[in-house]
Structure formats: C-alpha cells, structure tokens
Amino acid sequence: MSLSEQDHHLAKLPCAYGAAFNSRIWQHKAGCLNGTRVDLLKQIMTWSESASGAGIYWLNGMAGTGKSTIAHTVARDCHDQKRLGASFFFSRGQGDLGHAAKFFTSLATQLANTLSVLKPYICRAIAENPDISERGLAEQWKYLIFQPLSHAQDVSLQSRQYILIIDALDECEGEKDIGLILQLFAEAKTLNTVRLKVFVTSRPETPIRHGFNTIPDAHQDFILHHIPQHIIQSDISIFLRHELEDIRRAKDLSEEWPGESIIELLCQKARGLFIYASTACRFIRDPDWYPDESLATILKDDYVGQTATGELDDMYTKILMQAITSGSRDQQMLSSQFSQIVGAIVTMLDTLPATILDRLLLLREGTVHARLRCLHSILDIPKSNESPIQLLHPSFRDFLLDEQRCKDPRFYIDQGEAHTHLFVSCLNLMSKHLKRDMCNLLLPGTLTNKVGDGEVEKFIPLDVQYACRHWVYHVQQSNIQLYENNRVQIFLQKHFLHWLEALSLIGKLNEGVLALKTLESILMPQSGANNDLLGLVYDAKRLVLNARSIIEIAPLQIYCSALVFSPRRSGIMSQLWNQTPLWIKKTPVVPADWNPSLQSLEGHSGPVWAVAFSPHSQLLASASEDNTVRLWDPSTGASRGTLEGHSGSVRVAAFSPDSKLLASASDDTTIRLWDPSTGASRGTLEGHSGWVRAVAFSPNGQLLASASFDHTVRLWDPSTGASCGTLEGHSDSVRAVAFSPDSQLLASASFDHTLRLWDPSTGASRGTLKGHSGSVRAMAFSPDSQILASASDDNTVGLWDSSTGASRGTLEGHSDWVQALAFSPDSQFLASASVDNTVRLWDPSTGASRGTLEGHSDWVQAVAFSPDSQILASASSDNTVRLWDPSTGALCATLKGHSRSVYAVAFSLESPLLASASSDNTIRLWDPSTGVSPGTLEGHSDWVYAVAFSPDSQLLASASFDDTIRLWDPSTGASRGTFEGHSGFVNAMEFSPDSQLLVSASDDNTVRLWDPSTATSCGTLEGHSRSVRAVAFLSDSPLLASASFDHTVRLWDLSTGASCGTLKGHSGSVHTVAFSPDSQLLASASSDNTVRLWDQRHRASRGTLVGHSDSVYAVAFSPDSQLLASASDDNTVRLWDPCTGVTRGTLKGHSGWVRAVAFSPDHQLLASASVDNTVRLWDIKSKKEIQKLVTEKPSYNLSFSSNGDYLDTGRGTIELKNLPHRNERSQSNQLYPLYVSGSWVTVRTENILWLPPDYRPRYMAVRNNVLAIGTALGRVIFIEIDPDTVPLGGLFRIPLTVEDLIPLQHMGYVEHESSNSVTRPSPGIVFKSKDITQDRMMLVDCLVRSN
C-alpha cells in the first residue's frame, strides 16, 4: 500500500477534536512549573521508562488537585523524548471529548502518525474493516491498535517504552465504556513486539475504582491528595509567585506588589487546591478589573467553615457578584439571564460556540458573548465564533449545581429547571428547522456515506444537531410531567420522521432508538400518563426498530420503506401516512398491527444456528455457519463485534453466569472461550473427536459441559481450560446438554432417542428418560428445576418430572422436527423452534398453546429469552436473528397467502391475473389491482415449482414434484385435468404457439404430448436413452425438436408422433435446441463446448461452431435469423453468423457460467443471464454492455415480450417499456426498468424502495408498473410505482394541477408541459436539474403536501 493510499485510509478514521495534549484548544494549558511536583514527576517518568512494573499508572485525586496539569507535563516530556504514542484528554460536555465513541480511532490516528512503522498495519486494518469506526470499542482496540502493535516487527519499537496518556477518564460518559477501556488497556501487557504503558488520571469515583479492581495486577496507583500538605503548599506557593510576578510585570506594578503576606494568605486559602490558585490568578489578571480590587475581593474574609472547597466556593461567589455589579444595566441583564445561559453551559452534554448557543437558546445573536464578557476567569470564552465556550475547570459546575455550596440564590442553578429550559429550546428549534429531505438529496435511495460532512452541517447546523441528539436527555433530567404537557406529542406528530432523518444524516440513529426507549420509560410510571402519547411513543419505537437497518444508511427511506411496511392500524401511521411518496401509487398489504417481531438482525453470511443473551442483558450472541460468532446490542440491534477463530461452522454459544465468558462450540471439534466485553480469545478446549454441538455453563460458573457427535459429554474447568471428566453412555451423537438451575443435575439429549440425567459433581448416571420416537435435539430445565422439556424429530415437545423421570405430557403442534427449546426466566412461557419455520409458545404449567410466531423463511434453529423475559430471540437458516415480544404472541397477524415458500410467479398475457406456485403444494391466483387472492388451486401432492399461462391466457399449467402436470381454468379456478404418465422430474413444459398442444420433457427419457382442451394424452415420444432436457416448436409446422443427455437431437412429427430423424454429432450432453425464425436452421448446444447447426429439412449438419472453452448451455437466433448467440460455462456469450459459421464477437463481463440468452424483437439488444446472479443487456451493434441487473438467484430462462416492453428472467419480469425509442438508441444508452435488485426496488438502476427481509422476492414479475413479489414466507405482495414521478435527477415530474404550476412558471423554476384543459391534471412539473436550491425545494414541498 503506497503512502498516499495509507493517508487516504487513515483520513477515514473519525477523530475527536482536541483529544491530543498539543491540540489547539489546549494551547494555553501550562504544564507544571519548574520546581513543582518534582518527586511525583520523577516517579512517573521512572515508571514510564522502566521495562518492568505495572502496565498502567493511575494518578487519582480530588477535583482541583492538578491532575490535568501533571498529565500535560508528562505528555510534553514523553513527546520531547519521542516516546509518546498518543494522548486523549477527556472533558465532559465538550463534544467528542465527553465520550468514548472516537476514543480508539483518535488514538490509532495519532499512533499511525507518530510511529511510522505502525501506519501500514493500521491502514490495512481500516481497508479490511471499512466500518470499523461504527463498531464497538473492543473491535476498534483489536483491529486498530492491538493487532497492528502485535504484527509490527521493528527493533525500534522494542528499544524504548511508549506511553499512552489518558487524562480525566472520569469525565468519559458511560460507566461501562470506562470499565471496558481499562480491561482493554490491561491487554497491552501481553504484547511482545512493543513495550506499551498507559498513564491514566481521574477522580477516584466508583466506576473508575471498580474498573481498576477488575485488573488488580495490571496497574499501580498514586493518590494525589495524599501527598504531604507541606509539599503541596510549597508547590502552590511557587505557582502563585510565578503567576503574580507575571501579572506585576504586565500591569507595570511596583516591585513589592503584592507582598509576601498576600502570597502566604492566598496559599492558605487554596487549601491544597491548585484550581483555587489558578482561578485567583486569572481573576486578578482580568483586564476589566484593577488587580488590587480583585485581590481585595478575593481576600475579603467572608468565608466561615472548614470544608475543603469552602474557600474555592467563596471565591467563585465573589467573582460572580463582581461581574454582576459591574454596572446597573449589565447587572440587571446578567442577573435575569444568568440561569439561562450559564445553566445551559453547565448542564449541556456538549460544548458549543457562543453564536450556536445563541441560536439554541433562541437569543439574539451576540447575547451570550455580551453576558459572559466578565467571566473570563472561570469560563473559557474564545473570541472566535468557531470555538466552543467551556468551563475552565469542572469544579465550577460542581459549585453551581450544589445548593449547599452555592448559597447565593442568584447563582445557584436548579438542574431540573435548567434542563426544562433546554428541552423547550431544543423542541422549539427542531420544530422551526426540521423538514423533509433537509439536505436536498432528492434520490430516495441516497446513502448517508455519499453525503459529505460539510453538506450535513450546512443544512443541519450544530445547534440543530445538538437538539436532535439530546432533547430527550433534557426531558429525562427536567421537572416536566409529560402527561400534563402536550409539546412532545405535537412534535412527534409533526416532526417524528424529520427527526429520524436528521439523526440518520448525522450518524446518530442509534441514539434515537435509545431516546424513544427512554421516553417510554419516563411515561410508563407517571401517574395519569397520557395514554395517547404513550401509544404514540410505543409505535414510534416499533417503527424505528423495524426499519433501523435501512434508515441508518438511507435516510429518505424513512418516508418510503419505513412507512409502507408499517402496520396501518398503529396510532402513529394515522399521523404520518400522508408523508408517503406520491410515486408509490399502490402499497402492499401488510399486517394491521405490530406483530411480535421487534427487528431482524442481518450480518451473518450463512445460516444462524444459535443465539444466547448474556445474563446482564447487555449482549446477544449468535453462532453461524460462516464460522463466526456475532455480538449484538439487543436494545438497538447494533453490531457489537465479530468473534473469529473457528475453522468450522459454529453451532452454539453460551454466556457464563457472570457474563464475563462466552463459550462457542464448533464443527472443528473444539470449544473456544472468549471475553465478550473485549472480543479477546480466552483459550481453546480440545478433546472431542467429533463435532461439538452444545455447551452449557453450570449455574455457579465453575463447570462447562460440552456435547459431541463422538457420543460423549465432557466437563471442563472454564477458568483453566482443564478437562474434568468424560460422561459416556449414549449410543449415538449427543445433541444437547443443560444444567438444572439448582445445579443438582446435568441432562444430555441424544440421537439415540433418549435423555440422560447425570450428577455433575461425580459424573454418575441418575437415569435415562425414554419416550420419544425420534432423535432428541434439545432440552431445557424450567427455572425452578422441576420440569425438563425435550425437543425431538418426532415433531413433539416432551415434558418430564426431573426428580422422578416421569412424563408430564407431550406438546403437539409443530409439523416438522423441533430443534430448540427455552423457558422464559419468569416461567410464563416455553418456546419451541422447528424446521417448520415457526416458533411456538406454550404454557409450561398446563401445556396449552400460547401462540405461533411466523416470520422466518427457513428452519428456526434456536430460541432464547432475555433475562427479563421481555424479548424472545430466534435464529434461523434464513441467515437472520429475529427479536419478538412474547407477550403479544397470541396476537400475531399473518397475511393470507401461501403457507410456505413461493417458487414461481407468472402474469397472464391477456387477463389481469397473476399465478404463484408454492412448496405448500398449491397455486394461487391474484388480482394485482387489489392484492386479493380470488382463489387457491389445490390438487398437487408435492411442491409446485413451475406455472405457465397458455399464449391465449385461457389455460394455466402447473408442474409439480409429484410428477404430474395440472391444467386449470384461470378465470374460474376449476381443474381442467391432470396429466399423469411421467415417472421422473419434468424438465420442460411448453404450450404450442396456438395453445392447442402442451409438450412436456422429463427425466424418464420421454416427451409427452397433451391436448389441453380435453386434458388427454396425445402420445408419448420415445427414443431417447437418457433424460430429455429441452424441446422446441418449429413455427407453423408440426415439427418438434428434443435435446437429450444421450448426445442427440431428435425431430418429431407432432401430427403423427413419428420420429423424423436423429441428429448425431455431439460428443456430450445436448442441453438445448432452437429453430431459426426463418425455419431454415436448427441449433443445438452441448457440453462438448460446441454449437452445431443443422438443416432441419434435410436433417443434415451445416457446421460446428467452435470457440467456447466450456459447456454451452443456451442458444438463441435473432428475429431476422442473421445472428446466433451462444451462452457458455466459460462465462462468455458468443455471436455467430449462422450462414457462414463465422464468429461476430465475444461478449465478456459475467463472472460465472452463462445459462441463458435472448434477442429483443428489434434484434438490437441481447440479454444474458448467469449464475453470477446478474442479467446483462448488450447493445448488438457496439458489443458493449449497457445494463446490469442483479438478481437474488441465478436466472436460467430469458425471453422478451413480443413488443419488447418486458424481459422475463424466469426469476421475474423486467419492464422495459421506458426504453428510449428504438431510433433514438444511438443517442442514449440508458434503460429504465422497474426491478428488484437484491433488497431494493430500482428504477433506472437507482434504488428507490428498500424491501424488508419478509418482503424480498423469491420470484417476481412486473406488469404496467406493478411489482408482484412472491416471498419465501408464502406471501404475494403488489406494489405499484410511477417511474415518471420518482425524483431521480435530470428531468422528473411531480403531479400537480395547472393552477399549481402558475407561480412556479412565473418564477422560472419549471417548464410547463401544456394541457388542453385547466380542469384536468397536467402531466406534471418538470424540473430542469437535480440542483434545486432550498427555497425552490420548500415551495415544491408545500405544493406536494397540498396535493
């Protein structure tokens, strides 16, 4: 990686402004004076230079004792010695310095710039983990710092000690983050490639002390306020003499000033607090006051008391009084606004410049600067409008907020009132500023990473950002009773979506999730709570959880996907539905109410086999086929890291009772232990000789049990990794293990159809439970240890008395294997997960069903309840984890439709019908205009995998794995007959062009002919000796060609059923055949890598087309018969002149086998489909690709409609009627299809509507701008889009009346497409470009809303 590439990657890391000790904001921060802190600084530097000793030095002391000054001094000295790795100076209320979000990214950036040998490793980590800045602290430490330090092999790194300096760790918001940071720093001791130490300062607050108590051997500490008083006083005296002498010279005072007695008196008043001395000197230096007057004010002995901060409090009071009494007018103004301005400064979660603070508090510009001009001795008030106002020391905040310390009521800040005022200010500001599409993105699918920070700040300035992020915090800290105040309700009704959009744009959507949960928690216990507001907040929370994953990356989808796929009956939807885009003409049918699924967590690249909540409820772990374990924040759905190390599928994960360990079991026959807080490996347990399928910790955490396919259960000591014994007895694979909550029993479940009970302390057998007729896959003890539940391949759940082994009953309801079980901690529910794609809830005391949770599209492999029983997590082979609300499980709404996956959909050519085929053995007919299914066609006894309408739309044919073809009347749904006869899979099913004949080709080596009108067989064409793969009709002729794996092509006379000849020549299987439109030629494609041309009239070979390097699977003639296209497993499409056999070009671009090709009716376009999950469109003349469409699965059939308006991919129909006129194609290479690509509905290749997992197509079709989507859940949904009104840039339309256009025309903003009548709607507004200024957007926004 070049240096420029390294710089490019490093620039991607977000850094906290002012984190480093030598940042501009600290430029006036002085270090320790010469002669002060001598012994302490010597001790610290000795520790920092030593190769031995503790890895972390903790300097702690009370507020005002000079910790930060010492940290700056140590940082400067290490920097001068070229031993400073990085520094981070926390400061509460000062933006990113008040939390840990950018902590490790800032340290990594500094390390890369300081130690050049590390830079390539850090930059490589950024390149390999582009989302690293969004991940948890543990992963950032691991990839950005620990691993680069581990990999860097350089003598210079080992020749000296490098230091990280962290100041004021107690000012970092988030107690858990503080503890995690300390745990991660403790790992630095294990580095062999570099000697790294960490210097930390903080107050001795409880979270810090607790954090250090967890790493007792990794640190040494020094208590600053325990230094002998005479040493501290001596240092303060030196400081005062230095500062006062500097003031004397600057003010040109007499050499005797201020006098020894004054210095001694100041030193006494400081009472060992450096902050007193420094604040006094700043006050005396203030140019607005005479030094002697300031000294007199400070020394006036009003203070009576013995508290350590008493003199400091007295000085703060005097400074404030002098500032207020500086003039009668100023006194009155400052007194009235002091609480508002200074109250905001000391209670806000971030620091802001004066001009921004003016706007936030809705004050006239310049007010904050004017009111604070006399407070320079206690506040840092920069002259620059870009720099924030901040406290010079946190002790001033402590003073103002403590009524016992701040005794003057004019200055005491009531926190509740200050927060109330900030809350009101935030709400007013957001109500004034927030609106739809604030950054003028226009494109509905625009991603946040495409919007520059400058653009965001331009449209969402810092005051609005602050309000969006923190208004709920100020509500929480305020004195407001929300049920008596309708401000929040009005705001959410008008601006909820705008607020979410803003949070997404500034990258803080997760804070919105937590804010709504906080708001809900505030409302719940309030007596007389506003039920309407509570319901509104609940619906808002559900909406954002449901759509979080897309709103986070595409903010305008809050108005599209989030609204379209939310329940219509939810209270918030009645307020917000009018904000859905006008270009969505028809929305899909969705459940009327919120279903139990809270959200779907996507990230694994393979099936998820297991999930587990940590006992403290802070983490959710998921184990997957992709060999990884992922950690999630269950409250927001955010990823908290990925644990990598297993070389095989990870089958299960389990947390220890204290949440400090996570165990994972894998098909690589090992168990791995992890520290879930840091992601660090804690060891690998080896001993099993087969796949490990289950692990469980004992309730006291002293034992870990594992179950394996080697027929054994093993016990381990998780603290040492040592084996504690092997339990043998099962005669087949052991699938599950579980300890009883009272620790008296260990149970194991096996494929030998039994459960065994063991004494975990001795390993002795306590009995065998028999009763299941299939393998036992899972079991679980009830919380009181009285009931043992078991899950089996016999589709049942068994209940057992754990003390006696007697059966307590059998729970029936699942239609397939039961894979997993879990009791809720409150014993109210038993959840079972099944291969039938559902989770069932049961009452464990009675065995009664409590509901069925439907939503997964594949086997459900695992279930787990959160410790508070409020959330149920399920893991599925559909690669997702779903979170459910078990209390509403009985109310789960299911859309009527198929009960299993949809495998094919097809539109009728002539009638407004769609047919869908499903693995539930049925075909359904749908009316796309209403989304209603007028009928279900039943009769097949196995999965239906194909449907086709006859060309005249009078018949519908369906093919099934039951080896039959059925005919239906689509207008009535009546069966028109069943074609039985094939004894193998039907590979092809084709209607003749006149709809009079249906032909089927099968693996039974035959072709069968059927009369659709009578539903009778017209004969069987026998002759092939292997599977028949394809058939082709010759237009206006009774000739049929069939291609077979027997290397031949056969021709048949359909009028007689007689063979017309066998075409031999291929040396491999023949996959397909095609007649030329002029009926002169027949082409065949083979696995011998060739295409052969035949004269169908003379049954003679016309040549062999050689050029492909792998099997050829598809051929197609152009409509004028002048070209032949062939598709091959060599990833290419070749064009040939069929008359001469000469190649006319090779189309390259696919990255996988090409399995289908088709020409457009005007023979100017060629479509190709590949197993690389793409359909590509090529311009025949230029041989260039002009469009690529991504499909969910490979397409194997392509065909254009007769007018060229549609391309049928076999997986869905692409609408092409928005193609430029054929004669204009040379002027424009753009195609405008409406399609589904991955999880997006697209128009003109632009993403416009995101589809949630439940609504993504297995098969789809498009007709007249209506998307028909058949899902894996058996649903068929319809969405109508108006492509002309989607804002895609360039020209786009918004439908308005002619009257609406008049003001826009007068202002020159639009071109009016004329209409003949003012009473008719006009074709729309046509914008001249995407670059529309904000005032135009506001106008259009108003017009759209009025419309």
834 has which bridge partners?
Answer: 818
Q: Checking DSSP bridges between strand 1213-1215 and strand 787-792, what pairing results, if any? A: unpaired
Tell whether the model's pLDDT for residue 600 goes beyond 80. Answer: no
Query: What pLDDT is recorded for position 1344?
Result: 38
**In whole angstroms, what is the distance from residue 999 CA to residue 980 CA?**
13
Type of residue numbered 812: E
**In whole angstroms, what is the distance from residue 239 CA to residue 192 CA?**
42
Query: What pLDDT is recorded for position 895?
Result: 41
Query: What pLDDT is recorded for position 894?
Result: 35
3-state class of 393 per DSSP?
Answer: coil
**In whole angstroms, what is the distance from residue 1309 CA to residue 1287 CA?**
16
Type of residue numbered 955: L
Measured between alpha carbons, how far is residue 2 from residues 5, 1005, 1049, 1158 in Å?
5, 61, 58, 45
1026 or 986: which leads in pLDDT: 1026
Tell whether the model's pLDDT for residue 1305 goes beyond 60. Answer: no
Tell whether the model's pLDDT for residue 1295 goes beyond 70. Answer: no
**In whole angstroms, what is the distance from residue 481 CA to residue 937 CA?**
58
Show the DSSP H helices in 577-728 as ranges: none
- The beta strand positions in 671-825, using DSSP E, are 671-675, 680-685, 692-697, 704-708, 712-717, 722-728, 734-739, 746-750, 754-758, 765-770, 776-781, 787-792, 796-801, 807-812, 818-823
Mean pLDDT of the region 553-557: 93
In order, the DSSP letters of 787-818 are EEEEEETTSEEEEEETTT--EEEEEE--SS-E
Q: Checking DSSP bridges between strand 56-60 and strand 195-202, what pairing results, if any? A: parallel
pLDDT in tens, 999-1058: 999 999 999 998 888 878 888 999 999 999 999 998 878 899 999 999 999 999 988 888
pLDDT band at 1119 (very low <50, low <70, confident <90, very high): very high
Q: Of 683, 708, 713, which is closest to residue 693 (Cα–Cα)?
A: 708
**In whole angstroms, what is the distance from residue 1282 CA to residue 603 CA?**
32
- Percent of residues, the chain, with pLDDT higher than 70: 89
- Contact of 656 with 674, CB cutoff 8 Å: no
- Percent of residues, the chain, with pLDDT higher than 90: 34
3-state class of 1241 per DSSP?
Answer: strand
Q: Of 937, 971, 939, 933, which is closest to residue 952 (Cα–Cα)?
A: 971
Provide φ and ψ at 1300, rounded to 5°. -65, -25
- Contact of 957 with 965, CB cutoff 8 Å: yes
Lowest mean pLDDT among 28-32, 910-914, 1320-1324: 1320-1324
Q: Each residue of 1082-1097: b (16+ CB within 10 Å) or e?
A: bbbbbbbbbbbbbebe
Q: Kind and range of the H or E element at 1184?
A: strand 1184-1190
Tell whether the model's pLDDT for residue 891 goes beyond 70. Answer: no
Q: Of 313, 302, 300, 308, which is closest to residue 265 (Cα–Cα)?
A: 300
Q: What angle do CA 222, 223, 225 make, to 5 degrees?
A: 145
First to last CA, the chain: 55
Count CB-CB contacts under 10 A for residue 643: 25
pLDDT band at 1213 (very low <50, low <70, confident <90, very high): low
Query: What pLDDT is recorded for position 303?
Result: 59
Burial class (CB in 10 A: 0-12, 13-18, 19+), 452: exposed
Q: Of 461, 547, 555, which is closest to residue 508 (Cα–Cα)?
A: 555
CA 227 to chain centre: 51
Token pair recorded at residue 236: 């303060």
Query: What pLDDT is recorded for position 596?
Result: 64
Lowest mean pLDDT among 272-281, 453-462, 513-522, 633-642: 633-642
Mean pLDDT of the region 51-57: 88
Count CB-CB contacts under 10 A for residue 838: 20
pLDDT band at 1291 (very low <50, low <70, confident <90, very high): very low
Mean pLDDT of the region 54-69: 87
Q: Of 783, 713, 711, which is closest to residue 746 (Cα–Cα)?
A: 713
Provide φ and ψ at 24, rounded to 5°. -60, -35
Mean pLDDT of the region 37-49: 91
Measured between alpha carbons, how far is residue 763 from residues 717, 739, 757, 804 in Å?
14, 13, 10, 18
- Contact of 111 with 143, CB cutoff 8 Å: no
Query: What pLDDT is recorded for position 370?
Result: 79
pLDDT band at 81 (very low <50, low <70, confident <90, very high): very high
- Contact of 481 with 523, CB cutoff 8 Å: no
Tell whether the model's pLDDT for residue 312 goes beyond 90. Answer: no
pLDDT in tens, 705-732: 999 999 999 999 998 888 999 999 999 9
pLDDT band at 505 (very low <50, low <70, confident <90, very high): very high
What residues contact 664, with CB distance under 8 A and at least 6 apart? Answer: 621, 623, 629, 643, 646, 650, 652, 653, 671, 672, 674, 695
Tell whether the model's pLDDT for residue 1341 goes beyond 50. Answer: no
pLDDT in tens, 1224-1258: 433 333 344 677 877 898 887 789 999 988 888 87
Query: What pLDDT is recorded for position 425?
Result: 93
Mean pLDDT of the region 492-515: 92
Mean pLDDT of the region 733-747: 90
- Contact of 676 with 684, CB cutoff 8 Å: no
Type of residue numbered 685: L
Burial class (CB in 10 A: 0-12, 13-18, 19+), 3: exposed
Name the packing angle between helices 260-270 and 274-285 (round to 10°): 130
Tell whether the model's pLDDT for residue 1338 goes beyond 60. Answer: no
Q: Kind and range of the H or E element at 1222?
A: none
Mean pLDDT of the region 927-949: 78
Q: Which residue has the tokens 């080596």?
A: 1005
Token pair recorded at residue 1312: 């009016």
Mean pLDDT of the region 340-356: 89
Mean pLDDT of the region 429-442: 92
Tell whether the model's pLDDT for residue 809 goes beyond 80. Answer: yes
Output the 3-class SS for 428-494: HHHHHHCCCCCCCCCCCCCCHHHCCHHHHHHHCCHHHHHHHHHHHHHHHHCCCCHHHCCHHHHHHHH
Type of residue numbered 508: K
Mean pLDDT of the region 410-415: 89
Query: What pLDDT is recorded for position 982?
Result: 87
Sign of CA dihedral 478, 481, 485, 486: positive
Token pair recorded at residue 268: 């006494």
Query: What pLDDT is recorded for position 206?
Result: 79
**In whole angstroms, what is the distance from residue 287 CA to residue 71 CA?**
29
Question: Mean pLDDT of all residues in the chain?
Answer: 83
Lowest mean pLDDT among 173-187, 383-397, 828-842, 1099-1113: 383-397
1156 or 592: which leads in pLDDT: 1156
